[in-house]
């Protein structure tokens, strides 16, 4: 299978001279129960639930809190984009680590293992090992690729990229005996694979072989040719395994995942568009989630998600605005899995979706926050229709629950809360653009932003970047720190929300300024990088005094550009924050 480094058939790892039995040995910590070694009590309890309480099973699924309803991913096929790019994306909208770095490529001696770790989503630096522990180990491969490492690892040097959203699913499917959480499956796939299909196969096989312990997850997996929507759940307490399915987004379509399972029917006779684990139908039948004798078609989201609906406001808004002639409705039982946009979609259009809070639509929660304009006084005897009413300058689409509760207590029904795409609790977001006509190190760009994507600018991080500013390696979730890059943006954005009607013009101008700067500069930057790449093509790497390879010139050049752009963006937002402090120094 191209794109994956093999061990032996059925095993992921390096090719060696060991015999099959030796290669199939896996080192697992004592805390991880071996596959299918269930206690009698567990068997009896699970069997009881399956046989006696099917209605309970059908009703129980993991409800997401506002904090956990924490990601949006938009996917764009190459024929649906304006320039032939494939796009995937991710907003990490919760209390997750905000440090990021580049994990370098590496070579590994034969017979070594790779640790599978838990606790990586909330540590404060790459070297913070508190509450991080090794769940187990798997065989290592001979060589691993460099990758861009955020809380949910996102892109490697070969233009393989992923977005993520937590979709939870039924509680009884989780099994903590499993070896893998989703972020480590992502990291291993990025270390070892070059294509979306191979990454999905690898993650699926690892999870089914060694167990999957996380909640239901969706990964939007892309390469320069195509993008796939992959959903995975645990297989319950009976099996230390997983169940999963993946559907390819048609090349001329756009798809979205927003914390709700969306994969519907599956046609495994079309392998170019559908993939799934071997147990995808049998497990649902065994647990009473689906009865093939009922005549109802099998729907993955309904069987394993346990929901009555496969979409909410975010999916509806994105799909309906891309294809308005479909007349999609929030009242529908189900939306199309993906849509063909009526106009081709640019990467900047995807940026704009991540800034959305539905302004000017019936879903805008600030629409009723109007006050009498201070611009003029109404004439004596004027009727209400003569009075100029305007949006209050303190009306804020990012207001928290306490403020909404206060307003609705004073004037019931004023605000109808909606889960917007842009949210202030966002840790980071990225829109990843993959371009087949350029070398991988140049063609892949993660357009990264800290904090709320509705307020922060985006920084272009190329797939070939070797490192990032030191301030990017410090998390800003647990304390205010000017050393952490995120606080250059978060400080300013929270100040802006004090009086959004006044500050938004500064925020929007700053975002526009840096976005236009990037798109004006990138053609020349990429041209120079490409010339450097072509000049060094086929030549052996130069060595330093210690005999180590010197990084390729085009990668050093791209690294310098990304780092310089990041520092410019940080300084621009810091100065804007100072401006807001001055504006509000004497109160509102």
Q: Could you give phi then psi for residue 435, rounded to 5 degrees?
A: -130, 115
Structure tokens at 406: 């206060």
Cα–Cα distance measured from residue 310 to residue 2, given in angstroms and rounded to the nearest whole number = 34
Cα 250–252–256 angle (5° rounding)? 65
| Beta-bridge mates of residue 254 | 76, 339
Structure tokens at 417: 């809360």
Structure tokens at 550: 């010197």
Q: What is the reported pTM? A: 0.88
How many Cα atoms within 13 Å fall on the side-chain side of residue 442?
Answer: 21
Tell me what pLDDT residue 540 has.
86
pLDDT one-digit tens code per residue, 125-158: 999 999 999 999 999 999 999 999 999 999 999 9
SS3 category, 389? strand
Residues 6+ apart with CB under 8 A from 91: 71, 72, 73, 354, 421, 423, 426, 428, 429, 453
Q: Is residue 208 packed enough to be buried (19+ CB in 10 Å), middle (13-18) or exposed (0-12)?
A: buried
Cα–Cα distance measured from residue 433 to residue 347, given in angstroms and rounded to the nearest whole number = 7
568-577 burial by CB neighbour count: b if 16+ within 10 A, else e?
ebbebbbebb
Question: Measuring CA to CA, which residue among 437, 447, 453, 449 is closest to residue 527?
Answer: 437
pLDDT values of the chain reduced to their tens digit, one per residue, 588 residues: 344 433 333 333 333 333 333 333 333 333 343 334 443 344 444 443 443 333 333 334 444 444 345 799 999 999 999 999 999 999 999 999 999 999 999 999 999 999 999 999 999 999 999 999 999 999 999 999 999 999 999 999 999 999 999 999 999 999 999 999 999 999 999 999 999 999 999 999 999 999 999 999 999 999 999 999 999 999 999 999 999 999 999 999 999 999 999 999 999 999 999 999 999 999 999 999 999 999 999 999 999 999 989 999 999 999 999 999 999 999 999 999 999 999 999 999 999 999 999 999 999 999 999 998 876 566 666 666 656 889 999 999 999 999 999 999 999 999 999 999 999 999 999 999 999 999 999 999 999 999 999 999 999 999 999 999 999 999 999 999 999 999 999 999 999 999 999 999 999 999 999 999 999 999 999 999 999 999 998 888 888 888 888 999 999 999 999 999 999 999 999 999 999 999 999 887
Q: Could you give phi then psi for residue 53, rounded to 5 degrees?
A: -120, 50
Tell me if 460 sits within 8 A of 562, measured CB to CB: yes
Structure tokens at 356: 């959305």
Question: Measuring CA to CA, which residue among 209, 257, 274, 199 is closest to residue 71?
Answer: 257
**Helices 196-210 and 182-192, packing angle to 10 deg:** 130
**Which DSSP symbol is given to 345?**
B
- Can you give the three-state secondary structure of 313-339, one letter per residue? HHHHHHHHHHCHHHCCCCCCCCCCCEE
SS3 category, 98? coil
The residue with tokens 């394993």 is 304
pLDDT one-digit tens code per residue, 384-439: 665 688 999 999 999 999 999 999 999 999 999 999 999 999 999 999 999 999 99
Tell me if 96 sits within 8 A of 68, measured CB to CB: no
Q: Is residue 292 packed enough to be buried (19+ CB in 10 Å), middle (13-18) or exposed (0-12)?
A: exposed
421-440 burial by CB neighbour count: b if 16+ within 10 A, else e?
bbbbbbbbbbbbbbbeebbb
Cα–Cα distance measured from residue 532 to residue 555, given in angstroms and rounded to the nearest whole number = 9
Cα–Cα distance measured from residue 232 to residue 304, given in angstroms and rounded to the nearest whole number = 9
């Amino acid at each position: 299978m191209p794109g994956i480094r093999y061990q032996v058939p059925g095993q992921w790892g390096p090719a060696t001279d060991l015999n099959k039995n030796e290669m199939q040995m896996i080192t697992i910590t004592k805390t991880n129960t071996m596959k299918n070694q269930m206690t009698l009590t567990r068997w009896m309890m699970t069997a009881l639930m399956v046989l006696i309480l099917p209605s309970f099973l059908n009703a129980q699924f993991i409800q997401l809190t506002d904090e956990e309803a924490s990601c949006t991913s938009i996917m764009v096929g190459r024929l649906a984009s304006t320039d032939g790019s494939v796009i995937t994306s991710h907003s990490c909208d919760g209390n997750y680590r905000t440090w990021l770095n580049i994990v370098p490529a590496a070579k590994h001696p034969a017979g070594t293992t790779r640790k599978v770790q838990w606790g990586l989503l909330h540590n404060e630096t790459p070297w913070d090992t508190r509450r991080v522990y090794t769940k187990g180990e798997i065989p290592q491969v001979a060589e691993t690729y460099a990758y861009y490492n955020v809380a949910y690892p996102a892109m490697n040097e070969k233009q393989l990229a992923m977005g993520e959203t937590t979709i939870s699913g039924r509680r009884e499917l989780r099994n903590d005996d499993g070896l893998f959480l989703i972020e480590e499956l992502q990291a291993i796939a990025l270390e070892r694979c070059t294509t979306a299909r191979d990454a999905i196969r690898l993650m699926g096989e690892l999870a089914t072989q060694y167990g999957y312990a996380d909640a239901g997850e969706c990964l939007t997996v892309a390469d320069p040719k195509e993008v796939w929507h992959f959903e995975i759940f645990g297989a319950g307490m009976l099996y230390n395994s997983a169940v999963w399915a993946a559907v390819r987004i048609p090349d001329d379509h756009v798809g979205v995942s927003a914390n709700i399972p969306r994969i519907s029917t599956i046609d495994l006779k079309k392998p170019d568009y559908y993939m799934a684990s071997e147990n995808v139908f049998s497990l649902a039948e065994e647990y009473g989630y689906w009865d093939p004798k009922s005549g109802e078609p099998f729907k993955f989201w309904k069987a394993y998600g346990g929901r009555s609906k496969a979409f909410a406001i975010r999916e509806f808004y994105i799909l309906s605005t891309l294809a308005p002639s479909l007349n999609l409705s929030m009242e529908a039982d189900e939306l199309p899995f993906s849509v063909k946009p009526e106009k081709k979609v640019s990467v900047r259009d995807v940026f704009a979706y991540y800034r959305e809070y539905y302004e000017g639509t019936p879903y805008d929660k600030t629409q009723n926050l109007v006050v009498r304009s201070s611009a003029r006084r109404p004439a004596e005897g004027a009727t209400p229709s003569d009075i100029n009413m305007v949006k209050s300058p303190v009306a804020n689409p990012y207001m928290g629950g306490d403020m909404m509760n206060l307003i609705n207590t004073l004037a019931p029904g004023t605000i109808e809360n909606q889960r917007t795409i842009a949210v202030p609790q966002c840790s980071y977001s990225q829109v990843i653009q993959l371009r087949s006509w350029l070398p991988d190190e140049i063609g892949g760009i993660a357009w990264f932003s800290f904090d709320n994507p509705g307020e922060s600018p985006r920084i272009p991080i190329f797939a070939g970047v070797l490192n990032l500013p030191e301030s990017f390696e410090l998390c800003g979730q647990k304390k205010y720190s000017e050393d952490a890059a995120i606080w250059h943006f978060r400080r300013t954005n929270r100040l802006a929300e004090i009086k959004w009607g006044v500050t938004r013009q500064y925020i929007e101008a700053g975002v526009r300024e840096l976005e236009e700067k990037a798109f004006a500069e990138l053609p020349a930057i990429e041209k120079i990088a490409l010339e450097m790449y072509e000049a060094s093509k086929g030549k052996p790497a130069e060595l330093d005094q210690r005999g180590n390879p010197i990084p390729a010139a085009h990668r050093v050049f791209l690294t310098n550009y990304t780092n310089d752009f990041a520092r410019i963006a940080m300084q621009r937002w810091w100065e804007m924050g100072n401006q807001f402090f001055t504006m509000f120094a004497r109160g509102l």
